[in-house]
Structure 1
Amino acid sequence: MTQHDRPAERIGWAPGRNVEQDAMRAALRLGAMAEGYATDLPLFPAAKSFLREFYGLDHRPTEPGREVASSGFSIDPEKARFQLVRLSRLSAELRTGLFPVGVTENDSVLAVGEEGQLLSFGLGGAWQVGDSALEGIENLIAGTAPRRLRETGHAWDVRPTAAGSPVVGAVQAALTAVYVLHHHGIYSARKLCLTLTSLRGSGAGIAQRSIRIPRGRLEETLTPITREVDEVLAAHSGGAGCEVRLEVEAGRAQAERPAGLVRFSVRFGHAAMRADDLEAGFRVGAGAHIGSLHRRVEDARLSLRQMA
């Protein structure tokens, strides 16, 4: 692809394009409309940059797309004025700032995230169209498949430890997750949450305890945590007839976007497996599929699978 053959150039974009004056007028008018909906709509730097470069561009497909149908769109934030309340709800769900920048031909809203990524949302759900403004615009034109933004769950078996104790195996898996999450810059944790749930009836909770992770190497912290878990199990018939779950718990001071969206747990004793088998679970919220966080979370998930 030559410099003059980029898809965005075919609809009037060029490197260094700057229509800031008209773009900011449109953004300010939209901001005034948002006040009528009692909605906060801050124009953060990435949104301002996007509008300065792409405001006023329109695309009407004339060719089929590469992976999905090429999408027609209009870059004008005022055309998304009837979706401001829904945009606010999506922003809260994803735990990131969003600013509307236009609409697609099927009435989905285009919005820019705080890292400059381009998203769309409509009747078909929420999607990340591109990691950057230009990439998103060109993906729409070329018909490159977007990434669905929804909560996903991953589960895998954990190999038994040499000691053969499911408690030791569960604690080792949880501490490994603490290290991996911190190493990949997702969040740090200083506690594990132990939960015992009855397998009888409606599955009532029997016990729950927050266990502090002592400072030190994994092998040094393993013994005191294992001892504490064993004490809780001993007080409840050894955990017989229960699902035993250990979940990595982020502190309240860190309960921001990644901490609330990415959760690791390991369990044993549940009905779907033999009593001593271990299963790891990795829940990823919709907001963790956006931007640089998505890449870090995927790397962490692969690391955890390899260590299982």
Structure 2
Amino acid sequence: MSADGDALTAASWFPGRDVRDAAMSAALETAAVAVPVAGGSPWTLFPAAMRALREFYGLNLRPAGAGRDVAASGCCLEPCEARHAFRAFEALGETVGLRLFPLGRTDSHGLLGVDESGRLFCLDHGGRWLLGDTVREGLCALTEGYAPHRIAPRRWAWAAPHAYEEPLGNAVRTALVAVYVLHHRKVFSARELRLTITTLRGIGQETLDRLVALPRGSLQDSAVPLVARMRALMAAEGAIPQGAELKITVAAPEGTRSPGASVSCAVRVGHSATEPAEAELSLSAGAGAVVGRPWAAVRGCAEDLARYVRAQGRSDQVPVFPASTSPPF
């Protein structure tokens, strides 16, 4: 990306530009003329949005070339051009965990918005996109044609380790590795595992769906009591794992804020009728968890889990957690 922002300079932007009065008028007009919603005006003007408007309001940027990765696009920095899209920006804000304010429109009718951390986003017919971690970075990326980051859910899957003879024991031990990884990467600290058994016949009836609390103490010592509790639950409910999918899910505790709440790990076995012994470890992340700081943590989890699976394949030994690791209740 060019260091001096050719498209910005050509549009009469310069470091320190400040159109305070015009920017405030535009922000007030955006809020006042917005489509009415219950509770009054929908738009909230936060500091990052005001800073962006003061620096960039009124600019009309042209493409700085054909485009490096994708077609370059110009844009108009006028918030009223995107004021009608409150619901769409509200939904994006719920996904990324921060409010947004409209900033303008691209030449291809994409809508630009800035969030409370100062990142620049675009909504268009192709989806939802992060253009840059700052407004200036995003505008340069847009006008120079750098590929934006799509805001969409992600899922990774690996063949789960099976160093033990019994499928439930394998699943529990692998799930506990996921508990450790999610806690170590500061995504969330799980307090329980969800045990689900779903038949493979017909519409796939759930014969068991229960939460099982993690025991106190080290994760290393939790596998045996967890397996015993889950076996007791299956016996009490008459849930038979044969001919069914057995899944153990590690999900965020109740009250976890977005986007961390959208992240989960799961271990399932028996999901393939042709390969009933096949086991799968997966990591899922909602759209909001694949941008910014949450994305760094989620990507780290994916790398850790992939490393765990590779190590299992090399040595047929289950990697252990640090001896002091325990559920942080």
- Normalising by structure 1, report the TM-score: 0.91
Q: Which runs of 5+ in 2 are unaligned?
A: 310-329
Inter-CA distance 244–70: structure 2 relative to 1 (3 Å threshold): same
Distance (Å, rounded) in 1 between the aligned partners of 2:6 and 2:76: 18
Aligned to 1:305: 306
Instruction: Name 1:292's counterpart in structure 2.
Output: 293
1:284, distance to aligned residue in structure 2 (A) = 1.6
1:75 lines up with 2:95 in the alignment: no
Paired residues of 1:165 and 1:276 also in contact (CA < 8 A): no
Give the residue type in structure 2 aligned to 1:17. R
Letter matched to residue 32 of structure 1: A
Residue aligning to 1:55: 57
C-alpha separation between the residues in 1 aligned to 2:162 and 2:181? Answer: 19
| Alignment partner, residue 196 of structure 1 | 197
**TM-score calculated relative to the size of structure 2:** 0.86
Deviates more, 1:7-16 or 1:184-193: 7-16
SS of the equivalent of 2:34 reads helix
Return 114-123 or 33-42, whichever deviates more: 33-42
**113-122 or 204-213: which moved more?**
113-122
Q: Deviations over 1:1-42 (max 9, x none)?
A: 886565533332222222222212211211223362345322
- Deviation by residue 1:239-298 (Cα, 9 ceiling, x = unmatched): 1111111111322222x2034321211100112662232201222211112222122211
SS at 1:230 equivalent = helix
SS for the counterpart of 1:253 is coil
Deviation at 1:94, TM superposition (A): 4.3
Partners of 1:7 and 1:299 in 2: how far apart? 35
1:65 to partner: Cα distance: 0.6
| CA–CA distance in structure 1, aligned partners of residues 91 and 290 of structure 2 | 17
Aligned-residue CA RMSD (Å): 2.1
**Deviations 1:103-125 (Å, cap 9, x if unpaired)?**
10111100112222111002111
Question: Residues 121-144 of structure 1: CA distance to partner in whole angstroms, max 9, x if unpaired?
Answer: 021111111122221111011100
Q: Which residue of 1 aligns with 2:33?
A: 33
**1:73 deviation in Å?**
0.4
Q: Name the counterpart of 2:215.
A: 214
Partners of 1:57 and 1:294 lie apart in 2 by: 31
Whether contact under 8 Å (2:110, 2:125) holds in the other structure is yes
Which stretch has the larger CA shift, 257-266 or 83-92? 83-92
Task: Give the total of aligned pairs.
Answer: 306
Counterpart position of 2:47:
45
Q: Tell me the distance in 2 between the aligned counterparts of 1:258 and 1:53.
A: 29
Work out the percentage of aligned pairs sharing the same amino acid: 37
- What is the aligned partner in structure 2 of residue 169 from structure 1? 170
Q: What is the alpha-carbon distance in structure 2 between the residues aligned to residue 200 and residue 4 of structure 1?
A: 62
Q: Summarize the alignment of residues 55-134 of structure 1 with structure 2, pairs less than 5 Å apart.
A: 55-61=57-63, 63-134=65-136
2:228 aligns to what?
A: 227
